[in-house]
A = this chain, B = another copy of it.
């Protein structure tokens, strides 16, 4: 069989008439442009390359290209090859799909960046992503890593990253974990997916969650077949006494900085929670999602160290570097470890290696810590701006959760006239300021509030947003 055929458009000259190969080639290109297989802007292969693939003379390809150029379908840019210019006038338009529905029931109509001030919580200052440091670390990783790293790797993740994470989690979060106990995952969301699978396989059908708590997490757990059981949160964090009365054997908590209230789980509650887990065959999932950002208080060590046999600990780079990296870690208790590794293997065989090796280098050389320190200073200034402005303009409102994190919670007393936070958020959005109504993150009804992420906006924009909030709230009185 002849191998003279091109991948390009799957052109096979054996299908051409014996003498009309130029005609045949021009026709194939024309119909590919016409039916959209070759979109405007697509580059054509160099005539020399295509001729070699087809086992024909270069002049044949040049002639076919020239014919299409004469028809205005393709054109050359100096030094940039030949590109498709436009489909023939009669070319059919291909229908465009609308963006698909997300699993979350959260109606999050993203504003275009220029249309207003987006204070949706959960996102750091994306413009601060350390592009140069990342590239430098990746260059070093590529220059030094063994070729075997590019193969099918350990489903737990690249060893250099697990070694660095083991040290970093020990130094900054108080965990004592061996590199082999860490599984690198695609963010906290993947940790919840893997844990859900393992829990479902053991027969669990429900999971206790904080109320208010992350709506995204609850929706995800529901998708995986675990019914979220809401447990109230007060000024000390999760009401462990209420948890005891429920049947769920697993609880998802955010001890260092509760989402969305910002409360730190009190020492008494930490003890009570660990006792609850130890008393039965129970599991605590510790989501340490933004512990790196604390401003006015000493760091709170992760709960994990108090009961490593009962706690699945998870965190990520989503709040320190960027959510788009989809890079996090999961430390499962020993009895779940092998199941989690199998679940990770069955899900995707393991996480992409290059971002892992890059993060390992950022951790090893201290650049990661420096970046977190820089971000903390920047976020603190933003928090000060928005808290100051809100407290001055709305002395009645209660601004909570300000000692740490990237968001705060504003709740309103009965006298404020605010009843319906969804309506309030809708009105604010119509005035160009977007945030989450607290109701979105509640399972059961409660006082109204606004969850406001301040990390991504400049102090001036934050003061502007606070003024808008105050204006809208005060007209409701």
Contacts and interface: CB of A to CB of B under 8 A. Distances in A.
Nearest to A81: B366
A154 interface: yes
Contacts of A372: 7
Contacts of A6: 299
A292 B49 CA distance: 16
A113 B149 CA distance: 12
Nearest to A123: B151
A166 B94 CA distance: 12
B295 A186 contact: no
Most buried by B among A135, A224, A346: A346
B167 A38 contact: yes
Interface stretch (A227-235, A318-326, A442-450, A458-466): A318-326
Contacts of A223: 342, 346
A156 interface: yes
Contacts of A143: 131
Contact of A355 (B297, B322, B355): B355
B102 A342 contact: yes
A255 B82 CA distance: 33
A14 interface: yes
Given A148-B113, A153-B324, A178 B97 contact: yes
Interface in A1-50: 1-3, 5-10, 12, 14, 32, 35-39, 42-43, 45, 49
B96 A180 contact: yes
A126 interface: yes
A103 B346 contact: yes
A246 to B, nearest CB: 24
A34 to B, nearest CB: 12
Contacts of A156: 100
Interface stretch (A169-177, A388-396, A422-430, A433-441): A169-177
A142 B131 contact: yes
A149 B10 contact: no
Contact of A36 (B12, B176, B295, B403): B176
Contacts of A174: 10, 37
A171 B1 contact: no
B346 A1 contact: no
A141 B134 CA distance: 12
Interface in A365-412: 366, 369, 372-373, 403
Given A37-B171, A186-B349, A299-B10, A129 B147 contact: yes
Interface of A: 1-3, 5-10, 12, 14, 32, 35-39, 42-43, 45, 49, 81, 94-104, 113, 122-123, 126-127, 129, 131, 134-135, 138-139, 142-143, 147-156, 166-167, 170-174, 176, 178, 180-181, 185-187, 189-190, 193, 220, 223-224, 292, 294-301, 322-327, 337-338, 341-342, 345-355, 366, 369, 372-373, 403
List the 4 closest A-B pairs by CB distance, nearest first: A5-B298, A150-B322, A186-B348, A324-B353
Given A113-B148, A134-B142, A223-B342, 14 more contacts: A3-B295, A14-B298, A35-B176, A102-B345, A123-B151, A126-B148, A138-B138, A186-B351, A193-B347, A193-B348, A324-B353, A325-B354, A326-B351, A347-B348
18 contacts: A3-B294, A3-B297, A7-B299, A10-B300, A38-B171, A39-B170, A42-B167, A97-B337, A104-B345, A126-B151, A135-B142, A186-B352, A189-B348, A223-B346, A322-B353, A326-B348, A326-B349, A352-B352
